[in-house]
Amino acid sequence: MSDTVSLVFEQLPEDGLRHLARQLAPRLKTGDFLSLSGDLGAGKSTFARFLIRALAGREDEEVPSPTFSLVQPYDTPRFSVHHFDFYRISDPREADELGVQDALESGVVLAEWPERLDGELPKDRLDIRFEDCGSVTARQVALTGHGEWSARLQRFRQLRDFLSDTDWREADHTHVNGDASTRSYARLVKGERGVLLMDSPKIPDEPPVRNGKTYSEIVHRALNVRPFIAVDHALRQAGLAAPRIVAQDPDAGFLLIEDFGDLTFTRLAERGEDLLPLYHLAVGALLALRKHPPKDILRAEGTEHVLPPYDRDALEIETELVLDWLLPAATGAKSADETRRAFAKLWRDQFDWLLAQPAGWVLRDFHSPNLILRPDREGLARLGIIDFQDAMRGHAAYDLVSLLQDARLDLPSGLEGELLGYYCDAAAAQEASFDRAAFIRAYRLLGAQRASKILGLFARLARRDGKYGYLKHIPRIARYLRDNLQAPDLAALKIWYDREVPGDLTQLTGATLAERQR
């Protein structure tokens, strides 16, 4: 791709400027530098006002001109915004005195009259130029992406092309918090109606890590949106409330899906809602799914997806994240080869037993951020389910563990045991072949495997990606690991963890680990 990418609007009226600002706002992130150039009265300040209001989420936000103050700061829900006007500076070094670099570290910079910086602009930036196009009511607007913004602007152009063929091309866009993946989401609103936009670009190339395969390939991570389409169709056929797909471009990686709202279990827990009926509903959904075993190949709307197995390679490499990331973060040293061999042997014995058990659905991320209450619906339709594109065929206990040993929140005391018992009683009532003892053994085994994986993942997110916020959950996940390792069948693994993991992980705070990784 070229070092720069451009997108030009020949005649954009003021309402078009507002719409463009509201489309761009959800796609900005900390560290972005937007230069706004053009003659006096060309529309720079008007566009800045629209963009700041979109980021603030308030149409009545006061946005005074920074002409005299030179900089005007704003706090928005996602990051700070600093609106600079460099018209009156005479030396580019004055920009440093105004705190441009500090502003980039904490949020987004909007810079009018960037030419005053005499070429001293960030290499990664979005230039927006406003010019007279011979119309009193419209302007020519040219966007040019430099450096990292080149690919981002190309993606933005693809998004606009996708939306141009839908009923949502003129909708307002607002940011929606996503997850730790490369996917992003925005809420599109038109009048009283709304949908969610899933922007799921192709996963960047990764280096092979084992047998010529990347980590994503080994763990069967979805590499495009086609698995989402296929699994969504299968879940809806099973009577669960997966979102209806409104429009799709699988090749580009865009979907418009039904908007279930914001009442996630995570948010409801933060409000202090009674979790028992919510989690009882979620367990009911898993029980209903048992009645619809997964097919090896899922087909939907021209999409064919081979549902991968949760196989030995995936289980093992996920568990090894403890060795690769958590222990080095906690001890400052790599795990010795002998230690790794003992670890692998202990888990291999467990997986031998697990992989001989009956397989069912593993939605993989069946937990509080992805479960949404729909209070205006009845029965299982009250539970909206999202984020299932990485689904596999494996032991059904995995999703119950994901639900009841939630990485992000603590369930009330006794609720896990109560709902585990309820699940087993109900499964036994609907299936004569249900083996309660084997299920509970798998529950504890997968609980320990999942806790090990997440401890390693969150340590990796901190060390490799600088996402330290996940470390606050380390003590909770460590408690899950400790509790699961009390199972008699995991006694040998418990000895290994007690010997190799320094101290009590439940006492390690996210702040402590973050400091060790800086």
Per the structure block, which two tokens stand in for 416? 């896990």
CATH class of 195-517: alpha beta
Residue ranges per domain, the chain? 4-164, 195-517
**In DSSP terms, which residues pair with 140 in a beta bridge?**
131
Beta strands (DSSP E) in 165-268 are: 172-176, 184-190, 193-199, 245-249, 254-258
Question: Residue 37 — left, alpha, or beta (φ > 0 → left; ψ -120 to 50 → alpha)?
Answer: beta
Nearest residue to 396 via CA among 437, 358, 347, 425? 358
Place of tokens 């809806």: 236
Element (H, E) at 390: none
Q: For every one of its 518 residues, what pLDDT tens digit does the chain have, with 9 covering 90 and above?
A: 457 899 999 999 999 999 999 999 999 999 999 999 999 888 999 999 999 999 999 998 899 989 888 999 999 999 999 999 999 888 888 888 899 999 999 999 999 999 988 778 999 999 999 998 888 888 999 999 999 999 999 999 999 999 999 999 999 999 998 655 678 899 999 988 999 999 999 887 789 999 999 999 999 999 999 999 999 999 999 999 999 999 999 999 999 999 999 999 999 999 999 999 999 999 999 999 999 999 999 999 788 999 999 999 999 999 999 999 998 888 777 888 999 999 999 999 999 999 999 999 999 999 999 999 999 999 999 999 999 999 999 999 999 999 999 999 999 999 999 999 999 999 999 999 999 999 999 999 999 999 999 999 998 888 888 888 888 899 999 999 999 999 999 999 999 999 988 766 655 555 666 566 55
**In DSSP terms, which residues pair with 144 in a beta bridge?**
6, 127
Place of tokens 């060309």: 42
CA–CA dist 72, 74 (Å, integer):
7
Q: Which CATH superfamily is domain 4-164 in?
A: P-loop containing nucleotide triphosphate hydrolases (3.40.50.300)
Largest distance between two CA atoms of the chain? 83
Rg (CA), the chain: 26
Per the structure block, which two tokens stand in for 396? 């059904």
Element (H, E) at 52: helix 44-56
Beta strands (DSSP E) in 42-133 are: 71-75, 80-85, 107-112, 125-132
DSSP string covering 181-232: SS-EEEEEEETTEEEEEEE-PPPPP----BTTB-HHHHTT---SSHHHHHHH
Beta strands (DSSP E) in 24-171 are: 33-37, 71-75, 80-85, 107-112, 125-132, 138-146
205, burial (CB in 10 Å: exposed 0-12, middle 13-18, buried 19+): exposed
